[in-house]
Amino acid sequence: MNRDIAMSAPSATAATTPATAPSILPLRVENVSFDAGGKRLINDMSFTLEAGPRTVILGPNGAGKSLTLRLCHGLLTPSAGRVMWQGAGKQDPMRRQAMVFQRPVLLRRTVAQNIDYALKLHGVPRAARGPIIEDVLSRTGLAQFAKSPARHLSGGEQQKLSLARAWATKPQVLFLDEPTASLDPAATHAVENIIDTMHTEGTRIIMTTHDLGQARRHADEVLFINKGRLMEKTPIEDFFNAPETGEAAAFLKGELRW
């Protein structure tokens, strides 16, 4: 907690630059399985995510994309195997991550108070929170809604607020679970822009999506998952041009049965 206090610069421009603390990456997922209700939903999954590229997790419905995100983020505990943040050292890796869900979960408070609460949980002192809130709200185009009840925003604005809230805590790694699945094209575009900016400023993006166009435009590598198994981890161009597995080829043609 004290680390965060020491890091939080009072100036607005520094407010959203990612933390200068040592990176918690790479993320090593080692033989991870996850069972629920007597079923194996994630089966012996292993991969490593290095700092840098934007990763998109693709796969048909029920493949285990969201579960994989939650296992990586620490919201779920693997039934077998390990999730390791190899650079974390003595840091609590969870505090260097944030997650944006498909349906934004906003507190029954104002827009600004939603961000304030996240900053408070991250140990940012009260005096330093104001400039950070102002900064992320203006960067996400929400400045005029600062004092509005968060749950009265439109769907797109709510998702932008989720991103702003995540951004304010300067995450090194941002997980996004189909962040634009319920948004119209304009809102989708705005959300994608914010994600791109966060990526440019050094936040590691790990996202699931059903939108192949979005994957192509906004990702550098693909984790392709089918029936709880990791089938491929390939650069984005290779995945679309020459998928390694029959399942991936079938998925891209829209023929994969689930």
Partner 1 sequence: MTDISQAFVTALHLLVAFDANLVEIVGLSLRVSLSAVALAVLVGLPLGAWLALFKFPGRDAIIVFLNALMGLPPVVVGLVVYLMLSRSGPLGVLGLLFTPTAMIVAQAILVTPIVAALTRQVVADLWVEYSEQMRSMGASPLGAIPALLYDARFTLVTAVLAGFGRASAEVGAVMIVGGNIDHVTRMMTTAIALEVSKGDLALALGLGIVLITLSLIINAATHTVKVRAEAVWT
| Strand residues in the chain grouped as ranges (E) | 27-36, 39-49, 55-58, 80-85, 97-100, 173-177, 204-208, 221-226, 229-235
Contact predicate 175/163, CB 8 Å:
no
CA distances from 90 to 35, 86, 120, 174, 234 (A): 29, 11, 21, 20, 31
Q: Give the shortest CB-246-to-partner 1 separation in angstroms.
A: 34
Q: In what order do the strands lie in the sheet with 221-226?
A: 97-100, 173-177, 204-208, 55-58, 221-226, 229-235
* Residue 4 vs 247, nearer CB to partner 1: 4
With respect to partner 1, which residue has the nearer C-beta, 92 or 184? 92
- In the complex, which residues of this chain contact partner 1 (CB under 8 A)? 70, 73, 75, 94-95, 97-99, 101, 105, 107-109, 117-118, 121-122, 149, 151-152, 165, 169
Shortest approach of partner 1 to residue 108 CB, angstroms?
4
Least distance from partner 1 to the Cβ atom of residue 234, Å: 28
Q: Tell me, rounded to whole angstroms, the distance of Cα 52 from its chain centroid.
A: 14
Nearer to partner 1, 150 or 231 (CB): 150
CB nearer to partner 1: pick between 99 and 205: 99
**Taking the complex as a whole, how short is the minimal distance between the CB of residue 109 and partner 1, in angstroms?**
7
How far apart are the C-alpha atoms of 59 and 64, rounded to whole Å? 8
The least CB distance from residue 7 to partner 1, in Å, is: 15
| DSSP string of 70-108, one letter each residue | HHHHTSS--SEEEEEETT-TTS-GGGGEEEE-SS----S
Q: Are 223 and 233 in contact (CB under 8 A)?
A: yes
> Looking at beta carbons only, is 55 or 97 nearer to partner 1?
97
109 or 227, CB closer to partner 1? 109
Nearest approach, Cβ of residue 118 and partner 1 (Å): 5
Cα dihedral: 235, 237, 241, 247 (round 10): 40
For residue 74, the minimal CB distance to partner 1 (Å) is 8
